[in-house]
Structure 1
């Protein structure tokens, strides 16, 4: 198995198209055609993680956080980022990062937090914009059903709880084949008129490659005419943060004890308790202050995230409890999620969960 085959499996879980524009995701170091001897999955890639990969004969590191975030003008080993890059290159170790692609995936960072805390029926807290696309194409009437089925099989036409969704209308198409053409219908040098069906289907942008490939494979014409539009509709299945409910409401104190136990948290920084039960819970792994208003808008009783600043706790405004449990702590189970996904897709392959400690924050 080569690196590119592994990354395709990872992108089935979290397409890179879901990543935020500011992010640096994908293959950061290495040759995508390199044969993989073993995979080490980690939250962060530090020197001790690379050492662990070398010890375990893993030449591909799958990391949640990207070690290369801003541009590198020199690689001399003067800081921890450059030293990691140098060590990977010297030891022929490839490095792949997922970060916000996995943050925004329906089964990702936040769904894992919900699983650990027993939050049921989680929904996306902030749906990502610009992720719904519409494909419109034109096909001979007799081939319309075959083409639609191919598009559906590739993932097009899924809207919420519905599948095989499309819209079709019939009309007359015209074209004239040039001297080097090989027309499926009609003759070279003559205008041809054909009864055609216009087909429109929506899809998630992460599936665009598969959709277009299915279109070109199933369409009978030599030249396939199609249009792609980005819709304004929000995709309720893609986005950052999640909100759901507990099976049974808990007191604020009991829920905090539950969070500390389940998330292995040393301490919780939080806003004032409101003296009411916790039933609806919003979560966002990593730095989540930007989602406070969304959590309040969702009528959550508590919002669990990380990296809240002093004045941001005032934004609770006695409407919600804000709980900062730590950046590492909110994302720590992400690597387990990735190991589980890879193990299911490529069983009997050397996949290891990194044991190296990468949390830079200690508690006294």
Structure 2
């Protein structure tokens, strides 16, 4: 089995098309066509991670965070990033990062936090826009069922809990082929009018190549007339952060102590406990100051995230409790999620869960 087969499986779960624009996701080091010997799953890739991969005969590291985030002009071993990349190359170890693609996946990073907290009625905190596209095409009536079915099989027409969704309008299409044409219906050089349907169908943006391929293979015409537009609709299943509810409201201080224990926090930095009890909880693994206002708009009692600065805590405005539980702490269970997913998908080689704690922050 080749490395690319593992990558393809991961990207079926969390397509890179939904990663944030600033991010650096995908295969960062190595040859995707190399034969795989084993996989090490980790949160971060450090020199000790490379050593762990070598010890376990793993030539692919699946990491949440990208070791290469901005451009490298030199690889001399001067910085920890350069040393990791250099050591990986010297030992023929590939490094793949999934980062914000998994953040924006509905059952990804923030879903995992919600699982640990036992939150119910979960929904995305900040749904992404422009992740849904619409295909409009024109098909002879007698071929419409075949074309629709091909598009459905390619993944088009799924809206929430519904599949095979489309809309059609009947009309008359006209065309006239030139001398180089080879019309399926009618004759070259003669105006042809044909009863057709206008077919409208939506699809997730990462499926576009697959959808267009299915359309061209199933459509009877020599030249396929079609339009693809991006919709501004918010995608309720793709986006960062999550909000849910506890089964019953509990004392805020008690809840924070439970969070501290569950996420093994050295400390929790928080704003004033303006809420006596907590029921509605917003979460965002990693740096989440940008979503404070959204958590307030969603009427969350408390917002769990990390990397909040001094002035970020003022944004609570006595409307919410802001709690910084630590960057590593908020994302630490992500590697377990990836390990469980890959273990179910592959049994022909070792999937190793890293035992290294890569948290650079210590508490005294």
| Structure 2 gap ranges (5+) | none
Partners of 2:166 and 2:200 within 8 A in 1 = yes
Looking at structure 1, the residues matched to 56 and 178 of structure 2 have their Cα atoms a distance apart, in angstroms, of 60
Instruction: Decide which moves more: 148-157 or 37-46.
Output: 148-157
1:43 aligns with 2:43: yes
Match of 1:204 in 2: 204
Partners of 1:28 and 1:96 within 8 A in 2 = yes
Q: SS of the residue aligned with 2:237?
A: coil
> Matches of residues 1-364 of structure 1 in structure 2 within 5 Å?
1-177=1-177, 181-364=181-364
CA shift for structure 1 position 154: 2.3
CA shift for structure 1 position 182: 4.7
Q: SS of the residue aligned with 1:171?
A: strand
Instruction: Decide which moves more: 192-201 or 294-303.
Output: 192-201
Instruction: Decide which moves more: 260-269 or 157-166.
Output: 157-166
CA shift for structure 1 position 12: 1.2
TM-score normalised to the size of structure 1? 0.96
Looking at structure 2, the residues matched to 180 and 350 of structure 1 have their Cα atoms a distance apart, in angstroms, of 57
Looking at structure 2, the residues matched to 275 and 120 of structure 1 have their Cα atoms a distance apart, in angstroms, of 20
Partners of 1:304 and 1:322 within 8 A in 2 = yes
Partners of 2:283 and 2:303 within 8 A in 1 = yes
Looking at structure 2, the residues matched to 208 and 309 of structure 1 have their Cα atoms a distance apart, in angstroms, of 40
Instruction: Decide which moves more: 299-308 or 153-162.
Output: 153-162
The 3 A distance-change label for structure 1 pair 51 and 222 is farther
CA shift for structure 1 position 20: 0.8
Looking at structure 2, the residues matched to 110 and 179 of structure 1 have their Cα atoms a distance apart, in angstroms, of 59
CA shift for structure 1 position 311: 1.2
CA shift for structure 1 position 269: 0.6
Looking at structure 1, the residues matched to 7 and 276 of structure 2 have their Cα atoms a distance apart, in angstroms, of 46
CA shift for structure 1 position 176: 3.9
| Structure 1 gap ranges (5+) | none
TM-score normalised to the size of structure 2? 0.96
Partners of 1:343 and 1:349 within 8 A in 2 = no
CA shift for structure 1 position 177: 4.3
Looking at structure 2, the residues matched to 171 and 54 of structure 1 have their Cα atoms a distance apart, in angstroms, of 64
Looking at structure 2, the residues matched to 352 and 205 of structure 1 have their Cα atoms a distance apart, in angstroms, of 32
Q: SS of the residue aligned with 2:247?
A: strand
Looking at structure 2, the residues matched to 253 and 270 of structure 1 have their Cα atoms a distance apart, in angstroms, of 11
Partners of 1:13 and 1:107 within 8 A in 2 = no
User: Aligned residues, how many?
Assistant: 364
CA shift for structure 1 position 180: 5.4
Q: SS of the residue aligned with 1:236?
A: strand
Q: SS of the residue aligned with 2:113?
A: helix
Q: SS of the residue aligned with 1:148?
A: helix
Looking at structure 2, the residues matched to 281 and 275 of structure 1 have their Cα atoms a distance apart, in angstroms, of 12
Looking at structure 2, the residues matched to 136 and 17 of structure 1 have their Cα atoms a distance apart, in angstroms, of 22
Q: SS of the residue aligned with 1:274?
A: coil
Instruction: Decide which moves more: 210-219 or 42-51.
Output: 210-219
Instruction: Decide which moves more: 330-339 or 196-205.
Output: 196-205
CA shift for structure 1 position 195: 1.9
Instruction: Decide which moves more: 334-343 or 158-167.
Output: 158-167
CA shift for structure 1 position 347: 3.0
Looking at structure 2, the residues matched to 10 and 64 of structure 1 have their Cα atoms a distance apart, in angstroms, of 12
CA shift for structure 1 position 188: 4.3
Partners of 2:110 and 2:285 within 8 A in 1 = yes
What is the CA RMSD across the aligned residues, in angstroms?
1.6
Looking at structure 1, the residues matched to 331 and 94 of structure 2 have their Cα atoms a distance apart, in angstroms, of 22
Looking at structure 1, the residues matched to 331 and 160 of structure 2 have their Cα atoms a distance apart, in angstroms, of 27
CA shift for structure 1 position 51: 1.1
CA shift for structure 1 position 281: 0.2
